[in-house]
A and B are shown apart, each in its own frame.
Chain A
């Protein structure tokens, strides 16, 4: 099952003719994702280097290909609009990779997305019932499949039963059929490369990943930790949850309260930025310490109190996960 995406997910790329869009479309095809087309306004009717049809609008692409997910590489000035275009065209999973979207654009885009979903005050309910936004400024989402090919091209994909939407290296992930310990971990993270690190550590320790979701480093974004953890908790193929947070905002504090109340599966976590000085933005627009809840120490304390197994070093994410699963 996994969450959000499976081998049957039909994916388009918005911004497919740009350098990044083209190279990552290729990367996803090589992994084995069903990329069914792309959108670049004004280039409709042409084909990309892989022979994929290009459309002028997402609406046309959905109609012609039955796409239900999108990967957005549209440049920042137009990315907020691209997110809404996908949502309004009926796409279910919108994954925005673009980095550098103005906060004000995301505030209005989020408000309009929220009006498409049935949102409730009850945190046990999924507020993303119609359309899910992942990102922006994120590595994407992957549901790994077993290695069945060389990963050298669309005719020889890495897997015939997985889906990768985004920029992460596919081969570091492990499918449950190939995991020594026979257990799958769901991973949710605000950071890209730190997620790869966590995937790598869990893979090396004999664990598989069910689905890995990079929620992105921006202050106003789509799904947050709670949203993904709610989905992972409900997913029968996920046996444990690994969460990677960082300084800035109070998302992890609220997630700790949610975990304490609603999550039965083992949870491990790492919070990056314990040594970051207050008031300085650490790369991610959202990674800046403002209030008291923003600090790594406050987040670590709240998660510990919720019974989460904490990795104090980024090198210990895999072992903290094993400890939470009582496998160490």
Chain B
């Protein structure tokens, strides 16, 4: 699960990590007031207006703007709320923007030897060592993947002890290696410890500050003068398995950012990911679901989705799965691949029959019109096959797949 930048700033502030003043607005009318509030006390008022969407590429798309007057802030907010943001990371039709952050502009101190004092700081889990690690770099403000590819030596990775957490000396050591000195050294070290604590306590999978900067003497508002180590932008993602103990975070999920079908599937305990092809898949088990996508592709087809009905799906969940798959107009055929373990094949078969009986087409007729290939194996397979045979009248497009290859080639032939 991801949250917006304005929510990430709140989380940093909650853990005592300095961020510039900011306000989130949802209408043009709020813009001027927000600008005045966040720039209060600045000699030369300056703010950044940023669209709040999860996709990257905002700057290039024109959805991050520097403004110096309340009027300019209004103009920028109006533009963002009335245009869809299109970037390489969004769908081609772009994303609607409903929330805009207005944050105080900050002057970044010059770095001795050229450039600005911008750093990268993140905590994530390294699955190979089974440790959380702190990742830091002097090359802040740019894409860390780019740094990793071009200057791998510029990235510091520090393991965090699973029980003791990040120690103060580790923070000082990394800060020194990043080039922090004087007051900045202890400030940066303190921020690292706070970020590591936040990461664990909030069950994050990523907690990233980019850039972390040192303010210059320009008198930027909000963070308290020059020489302050400050987080300008932050990104978090959370372990969905940990959300049960973070009702506050779960409430931050933005339904506008979720694929409607994926959200609906989630409610029924189904794991669904929309893809670009035309063959819908209904499978039990994540590994088998991936393998089913693979075999469709091997036979010249394109999967329309990943769908794992899980080990204990009910007939209702199977019915729901069909209705989600078939709500995608591109779907020209469906492959059901079940290897019954906990899941009984007769339950799946009954679910398919019920789904067909209840499925309403756009023209008002009932039943599936697209080709349906069903491959059943495992627990109660004979009962399942018998149920399907007896209901052929309700399933005119049904073909049985004898095994994986047979099922995949039948469904690919049927849609092409």
Contact = CB atoms under 8 A, between A and B. Distances in A.
Interface in A53-87: 76-77
Nearest to B344: A169
Given A102-B239, A167-B342, A283-B286, A275 B130 contact: no
Interface residues of A, number: 61
B162 A108 contact: yes
A18 interface: no
B350 interface: no
B275 interface: yes
Given A282-B273, A282-B306, A77 B244 contact: yes
B163 interface: yes
Interface stretch (A43-51, A246-254, A261-269): A246-254
Interface string B208-252: 000000000000000000000000000000010110110000000
A191 B285 contact: yes
Contacts of B62: none
Contacts, number: 166
A135 to B, nearest CB: 14
A102 B242 contact: yes
B295 A315 contact: yes
A219 interface: yes
B379 interface: yes
A214 to B, nearest CB: 10
Contact of A192 (B132, B245, B285, B294): B285
A314 interface: yes
A103 B405 CA distance: 36
Nearest to B199: A104
Contact of A219 (B125, B340, B408): B125
A18 to B, nearest CB: 12
A95 to B, nearest CB: 15
Contact of A102 (B203, B294, B298, B342): B203
Interface in A178-218: 189-197, 200, 217
B291 A270 contact: yes
Given A172-B378, A246-B287, A285 B241 contact: yes
A29 interface: no
Contacts of A313: 294-295, 298, 404-405
Contact of A197 (B203, B312, B404): B404
A275 B404 contact: no
B250 to A, nearest CB: 13
Nearest to B160: A107
A100 B288 contact: no
A327 interface: no
A232 interface: no
Contact of A272 (B125, B271, B287): B287
5 closest cross-chain pairs (CB), A and B: A191-B287, A283-B286, A193-B285, A194-B287, A314-B291
11 contacts: A100-B241, A103-B205, A104-B239, A108-B162, A169-B341, A246-B290, A272-B290, A275-B290, A281-B273, A287-B290, A313-B294
Given A244-B287, A313-B298, 16 more contacts: A102-B239, A102-B245, A103-B242, A104-B132, A108-B163, A111-B162, A168-B341, A172-B378, A246-B290, A250-B127, A273-B290, A281-B273, A283-B306, A313-B405, A314-B292, A314-B294
